[in-house]
Structure 1
Amino acid sequence: MTAESKSDETQLVDVSTVVLSEEPVIAVGDSCSAKEEKVEDELPEKPKAVKEDVLMDSKPTEEEEGEEKEASSVEKELYPSLGSVLVQKSCSFREESNFLSDLKDNEKRALLELRVMLEEAILENKLLESAKEGDDMEVKGAVVDVTLWGVPLLPSRCVESTNVILLKFLRARDFKVDDAFNMLRTTIRWRKEHSIDTVVDEEDLGGGEVEATAYMGGTDRDGHPVCYNVFGLFQEDGLYQKIFGSEEKVDKFLRWRFQLIEKEIQKMNFNPGSVTSIVQVIDLKNAPGIFKKELRNAMKKAVGVLQDNYPEFVAKTIFINVPLWYCAVNTLLSPFLTKRTKSKFIFSRSANVTETLLRYIPAESIPRRYGGLRHPNECEGEFAAVKGGGGGVSEVIVKAGCTESIEIPVITVGMNVVWDLTVLGWDVNYKEEFVPDDDGSYTVIIQKGRKMAAHEEPIRNSFKNNEPGKIVLAVENNGFKKKKIFFRYKNNI
């Protein structure tokens, strides 16, 4: 990202990004210089793996040493296999590690206390409410089988994914054990009262127009699934009334949103080091303003429920096409958000939506409407390592006043080559040609040269050859700033 575009982005949290991987899958020519130059990526460099957390600086007092010894003995007695949970770490820098070896001393103690508290509550049938006299062992046995998102909650079963779930609640409550336990208890009660465990099987919640307001698509640079939320669709009065016309309709819409996230959670592996959260992209272009009371109340309710019952399931939230009026809405919602939640917010203006998304999401996972290369019905890995050539997304810089010619070799006769290409900010001249290897053959014009406006959508085109040659995609930059090109192709033999 250039210095100019950075100034347009307001960000509440400094989240490091990863350089796009570049593989020399095609030949690239620079008309400005005969000498080949290595193009350096402009995106921020990916940070090195996070170092292990430093233990508490001050030496423990005799009293603290006694408490640690006591906790250690309790740990060994109650959870003899706790040490087996220590798995070789290989987790991401951006989120806190779920490996016990990476936890600070106070965090380990908090986790142990929560495990002890949860063990007692489950075995004594007090997790949801106080046990009544006369409760028999059959009832208690049923409670022992309590699970959350498919993970057994009884700590003494020594399932390593149990720690991952408990750490979510602890982090959401700043490692305050009592608060985390109450949050866990409230979540289980809420899920039971609203039959959330079966919501994934309900078929009458969404519908075409409704489902267009939020959808999953691709992953970010760290493997988090990305959920796109399109608030501008609520501007249409018919859809607005269909969703927010009554309290019952609002509840149905929110239940569909819970279903969407529950389906994604079902795919998650809660082992340490695994991806256990998603990225939210919220598009506020043409979104109804703050005077839509029904929408405002529904969003406030949704934020509260998601924050209270899905702790640490959102790695970051990226707001794009942010209008001025959103400052007022953000002020209204701010009191209902924890400091930790707000620290994950990233805001972007309309002028640099694509640049902002590219910092966190690869081009192949960004929808075309936002300047990426992803098509609505595209299969995962459709362009990756396909037979006959092509592969993932490549990146090229076209300097100011220069032309870059991207060459796609087409050796076998009868190949159907498909390619996607986009230029950040466009404002360039673009053309496509097929150049045969035989000097006696004529060049075929696939796309006449034309001026591409600043907000053009990415290009997808295809060509089937009748003789060996190469497809040449020419990007002419007559501006005063360099441009960044993203492209990919596949050969279908």
Structure 2
Amino acid sequence: GETRQTDHRGTTSNSRNSEHLCAVFRQELSPNAGFLTGEEALETSLTTMTNDGEMSDDTFSHDSQDFQENYDTFAIEEASRRSTELKPSVKKALLRFRIKLQDAILGNYIYGRPPTFVYGIDFKGSSEDISIDSMELREDIRDISLWGIPLLPSKGHEGTDVILLKFLQAKDFKVNEAFEMLRKTLKWRKEFKVDKILDEIIASELEGMTYMDSTDRGGHPVCYMIYGAFKDNDLFRKAFGSEEKSKEFLRWRIQIMEKNIQALGFKSGGANSIVQITDLKNSPGPGTKDMRVTSKKAYMLLQENYPELIYKNILVNVPFWYYAYHSVSTRLLTQRMKSKFIFARPSKVTKTLLKFIPPENLPVQYGGLKRENDDEFPPEYPVLETIVNPGCIDSIQVPIPEPGVTVVWDLTVVRLDVSYKEEFVPDDDCSYRIPIQMEKKMSGSVRNSFYISEPGMILLTIDNSTFKKKKVLYRLKIKPTVPMYIQLK
């Protein structure tokens, strides 16, 4: 399509270090080699590196600029790439974490039990005193996994490092704190029986309040939660009417998170976190104490047990009262967790979401072009863009030189507040213009079609009488069509 605009008024060192560190770690955790304890392995690797003159322990100081650069949002995503692409400071933290975790799993103290024996050596007696029950427990722990990914580093699964990096990032790459966080997460999952939660039917009345729909610009799965459903008093009482109901809601929220995680591959270099969009349109006001308390507990559980699994937490249709409520309910969250929140008032929902989600993936109710169960526009049809300047009329022209086809189009205007009309203009001067859609104020995304019976042009006109520029997003499709009267004949 073409556009026409008129004015209303008529006018190399780090690479070697990284490869060396990987080689040392592969040798230490080789299944065919004798296992070292974590401290022995770490001491060996660091001593070797220092003796080679390549590195010293000072290289990996947490106060160094090299280490601090890994704290931004981009680094959180990029740090899940292959270990050879990590900076030396991050790689050392990951090495320490892997060795510490290997010790804890093989030593049977990952859940917090005291390390009475490690690698078959009983520190309270001889190795012959190890019971059969303990050996069976050891075998079970060797197969321990998180979100379907084995945690034992020596198994060599690529997703293991992706998960460990998430715990490291949540704790600013402090290995001991990351290890304790992982251990508490595993213990909580056993107590909360999270591994069985996907098979449960929880709060069936809340079905439809949340759904997954496509991905953002970076490939992150997008989950939508519709809190406006709680405007229904009966539904609100079913969800928060008692302490038991609030606990059930909390368990439902964890189940939703676990379902969302199923869409993640935990692959090196992949999008290993989700975008959470919470729609607060028509949601209950600040006086709902039960909902406020339960939401606060949910935030804390997600922070403590699902580190770096939420890429962005976008709240849309945010009422004024929510800002004060949010600042109180999230005051115990870490700064890293708080930085993931993005707020959009009703007038800026589409503009905000399009920063993260391409228009072909954004549902029409949020100003995008995606329709439910729709296969009219496959991914190969690009979304085009034009700008309508303040006080101007912009016309998208679609010339059709041959008849016998149907033109289909999608169109949306960011922040609306414009008038819009559609018409067909024949090439024959003796023919009349055919109005397809009379001019009216736009209220949302538009889809329409028109059968071409003679050569001409589809004209889509946007009248911007405001004082701000308007972005128009649209896509077109032309398909051969047999007229209905011929089919009937």
Query: Which range moved further: 135-144 or 403-412?
Result: 403-412
Correspondent of 1:75 among 7, 14, 25: 25
Compared with structure 1, are the counterparts of its residues 480 and 339 closer, same or farther at alpha carbon in structure 2 (3 Å cutoff)?
closer
For 2:171, the aligned partner's letter is R
Report the equivalent of 2:314: 318
Report the equivalent of 1:465: 452
Secondary structure of 2:77's counterpart equals coil
Secondary structure of 1:170's counterpart equals helix
Q: How much has 1:273 moved relative to structure 2?
A: 0.7
Compared with structure 1, are the counterparts of its residues 416 and 255 closer, same or farther at alpha carbon in structure 2 (3 Å cutoff)?
farther
Report the equivalent of 2:111: 128
1:57-94 residue CA offsets vs partner (Å, 9 max, x unmatched): xxxxxxxx9xx99988862432359xxxxxxxxx9667
Compared with structure 1, are the counterparts of its residues 439 and 80 closer, same or farther at alpha carbon in structure 2 (3 Å cutoff)?
farther
- Aligned residue-pair number: 418
**Structural RMSD (CA):** 3.1
Structure 2 CA distance, aligned partners of 1:104 and 1:347?
33
Compared with structure 1, are the counterparts of its residues 472 and 238 closer, same or farther at alpha carbon in structure 2 (3 Å cutoff)?
same
Structure 1 CA distance, aligned partners of 2:246 and 2:479?
46
Give the gaps of 5 or more residues in structure 2: 32-72, 117-129, 481-489
Correspondent of 2:234 among 234, 238, 247: 238
Compared with structure 1, are the counterparts of its residues 182 and 393 closer, same or farther at alpha carbon in structure 2 (3 Å cutoff)?
same
Structure 2 CA distance, aligned partners of 1:280 and 1:69?
37
For 1:141, the aligned partner's letter is E
1:85-116 residue CA offsets vs partner (Å, 9 max, x unmatched): xxxxxx96673422323433332222111111
Structure 1 CA distance, aligned partners of 2:395 and 2:324?
47
Q: How much has 1:409 moved relative to structure 2?
A: 4.6
Structure 2 CA distance, aligned partners of 1:327 and 1:121?
43
8 Å CA contact 1:436, 1:469 repeated in 2: yes
Q: How much has 1:354 moved relative to structure 2?
A: 1.8
8 Å CA contact 1:417, 1:462 repeated in 2: yes
Report the equivalent of 2:3: 28
Report the equivalent of 2:379: 384
Answering whether residue 146 of structure 2 is matched by residue 152 of structure 1, we say no
Report the equivalent of 1:48: none
Compared with structure 1, are the counterparts of its residues 421 and 123 closer, same or farther at alpha carbon in structure 2 (3 Å cutoff)?
same
Report the equivalent of 1:475: 462
Report the equivalent of 1:23: none
Report the equivalent of 1:44: none
Q: How much has 1:172 moved relative to structure 2?
A: 0.9
Answering whether residue 138 of structure 2 is matched by residue 140 of structure 1, we say yes
Correspondent of 1:406 among 384, 396, 408: 396
For 2:180, the aligned partner's letter is N
For 1:155, the aligned partner's letter is P
1:448-476 residue CA offsets vs partner (Å, 9 max, x unmatched): 12244xxx222222323334443221112
8 Å CA contact 1:228, 1:282 repeated in 2: yes
Structure 1 CA distance, aligned partners of 2:19 and 2:395?
68
Compared with structure 1, are the counterparts of its residues 94 and 463 closer, same or farther at alpha carbon in structure 2 (3 Å cutoff)?
farther
More contact order relative to length (CA 8 Å, sep ≥ 6): 1
Structure 1 CA distance, aligned partners of 2:19 and 2:153?
20
Secondary structure of 1:335's counterpart equals coil
Compared with structure 1, are the counterparts of its residues 93 and 140 closer, same or farther at alpha carbon in structure 2 (3 Å cutoff)?
closer
Give the gaps of 5 or more residues in structure 1: 1-25, 34-51, 56-64, 82-90, 386-390
Q: How much has 1:405 moved relative to structure 2?
A: 1.6
Query: Which range moved further: 166-175 or 212-221?
Result: 212-221
Q: How much has 1:437 moved relative to structure 2?
A: 4.2
Same amino acid, percent of matched pairs:
46
8 Å CA contact 1:383, 1:490 repeated in 2: no
For 1:432, the aligned partner's letter is E
Compared with structure 1, are the counterparts of its residues 471 and 122 closer, same or farther at alpha carbon in structure 2 (3 Å cutoff)?
same
Q: How much has 1:492 moved relative to structure 2?
A: 4.7
Structure 1 CA distance, aligned partners of 2:5 and 2:361?
28
Answering whether residue 247 of structure 2 is matched by residue 251 of structure 1, we say yes
TM-score by length of 2: 0.77
Report the equivalent of 1:87: none
